[in-house]
């Protein structure tokens, strides 16, 4: 892996900035910026002749998401973000009063509020507590499963702990109880290999602005074909039907797959950027990216412990991701973040903890510089 080449694609590094917030908003690489600029340039000069090319690259974004997810492209819909995708599912499920959704107390709002908003349909939410070490074993979900459980909703990687869930085991638990597994994959997609088909996940959603290092405003929704008949036709529009050019007479004939939920004109400049981002990551290999991220975060964890900071993320490799949470035994987080900001190091506070989230192009030297800047 040519890290020098990878780093050369991120101009912020030349400005002395160390970005350790890839679990939030990632900086764009030169290939992503170039792809978006090319779309703008070509559509400015000749929008008619350029439209087939532009649409072809948009369609190819489905293929790229599908490759990373380990699914078929026709089962992937392009959305605006993670919450958009999960809201389609939460609103679309054919609930009965008293049905239940199970999720952890550390879930991001994109994977909680869509479920909580179903209260007017008398859907109940059951909350799994996170353990002190940041883990949420499958057994803790199983303790809450009952005859009315319809959905287990989980993040593949938790944003505020860094815990990586065993989604295959959770899928087995859900299916053994006639429930669906819905997974928010945004905090792992692009940073670790994923095969939703092998894991037998029913539904997954994501955005592209974190570990995919893509632009904001583009996401993906995977729906396993076998669960389509459990979903109502919500979020419908001109893009939902088989023949999108059939205006007269109107013919409401929904597409036979997840793409029926692509309701209208998509964010095509955004999907051009996402396609470039995914192709950029694939050129290095997702397996190698995962290994490098885990090595870098292990280096960060060891350094933090040596400085007397308390680690608040899982430490076992099977549970770890690219996210490391920590705090000082006495200093407030604001003081820590301000010290890092003064050294041009980007981090955030999440859940009362400071979060490091380095990507594959970050080096141990980047981490050492961050450690040296800590108060």
Mean pLDDT (whole number) for 132-154: 96
Strands 149-155 and 100-104: parallel
Give the whole-number percent of the chain exceeding pLDDT 90.
Answer: 95
Residue 104, domain member (yes or no):
yes
Residue 362, domain member (yes or no):
yes
Question: What pLDDT shows up at residue 2?
Answer: 93
Whether residues 13 and 94 fall in one domain: no
Question: What pLDDT shows up at residue 250?
Answer: 84
Whether residues 266 and 324 fall in one domain: no
The domain of 96 spans 41-282
Residue 152, domain member (yes or no):
yes
Q: In what order do the strands lie in the sheet with 353-356?
A: 310-311, 324-327, 353-356, 348-350
Whether residues 217 and 358 fall in one domain: no
From CA 310, how far away is CA 307, in angstroms rounded?
9
Whether residues 104 and 52 fall in one domain: yes
Residue with tokens 């350094």: 303
Q: How many domains does the chain have?
A: 2
pLDDT-derived band at 198, boundaries 50, 70, 90:
very high
* C-alpha pair distances (Å), 182 with each of 127, 185, 280: 15, 9, 28
Please give the mean pLDDT across all residues of the chain. 96
Residue 70, domain member (yes or no):
yes
Question: What pLDDT shows up at residue 121?
Answer: 96
Predicted model pTM: 0.95
Whether residues 79 and 211 fall in one domain: yes
CATH of the domain at 16: 3.90.1150.10
């Amino acid at each position: 892996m040519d890290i020098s080449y990878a780093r050369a694609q991120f101009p912020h590094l030349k400005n002395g900035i160390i970005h350790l917030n890839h679990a939030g908003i990632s900086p764009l690489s030169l290939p992503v910026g170039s792809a978006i600029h090319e779309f703008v340039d070509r559509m400015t000069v000749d929008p008619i002749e350029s439209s087939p090319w532009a649409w072809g690259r948009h369609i190819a974004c489905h293929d790229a998401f599908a490759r990373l997810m380990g699914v078929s492209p026709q089962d992937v819909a392009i959305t605006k973000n993670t919450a958009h995708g999960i809201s389609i599912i939460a609103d679309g499920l054919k609930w009965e009063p008293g049905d239940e959704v199970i999720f952890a107390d550390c879930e991001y709002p994109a994977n909680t509020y869509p479920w909580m908003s179903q209260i007017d349909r008398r859907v109940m939410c059951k909350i799994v507590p996170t353990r002190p070490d940041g883990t949420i074993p499958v057994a803790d979900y199983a303790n809450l499963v009952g005859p009315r459980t319809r959905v287990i909703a989980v993040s593949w990687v938790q944003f505020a702990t860094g815990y990586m869930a065993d989604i295959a085991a959770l899928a087995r638990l859900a299916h053994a109880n006639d429930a669906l597994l819905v997974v928010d994959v945004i905090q792992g997609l692009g940073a670790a290999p994923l095969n939703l088909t092998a894991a037998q996940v029913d539904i997954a959603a994501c955005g592209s602005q974190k570990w995919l290092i893509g632009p904001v405003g583009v996401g993906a929704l995977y729906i396993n074909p076998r669960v389509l008949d459990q979903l109502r036709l919500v979020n419908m529009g001109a893009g939902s039907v088989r023949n999108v050019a059939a205006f007269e007479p109107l013919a409401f004939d929904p597409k036979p797959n997840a793409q029926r939920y692509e309701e209208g004109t998509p964010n095509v400049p955004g999907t051009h950027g996402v396609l470039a981002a995914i192709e950029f990551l694939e050129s290095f290999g997702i397996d190698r990216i995962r290994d490098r991220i885990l090595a870098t975060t292990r280096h960060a964890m060891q350094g933090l412990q040596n400085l007397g900071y308390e680690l608040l993320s899982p430490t076992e490799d099977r549970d770890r991701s690219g996210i490391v949470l920590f705090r000082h035994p006495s200093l407030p987080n604001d003081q820590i973040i301000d010290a890092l900001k003064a050294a041009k190091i980007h981090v955030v506070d999440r859940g009362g903890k400071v979060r490091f989230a380095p990507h594959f192009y970050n080096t141990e030297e980047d981490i050492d510089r961050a450690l040296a800047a800590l108060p």
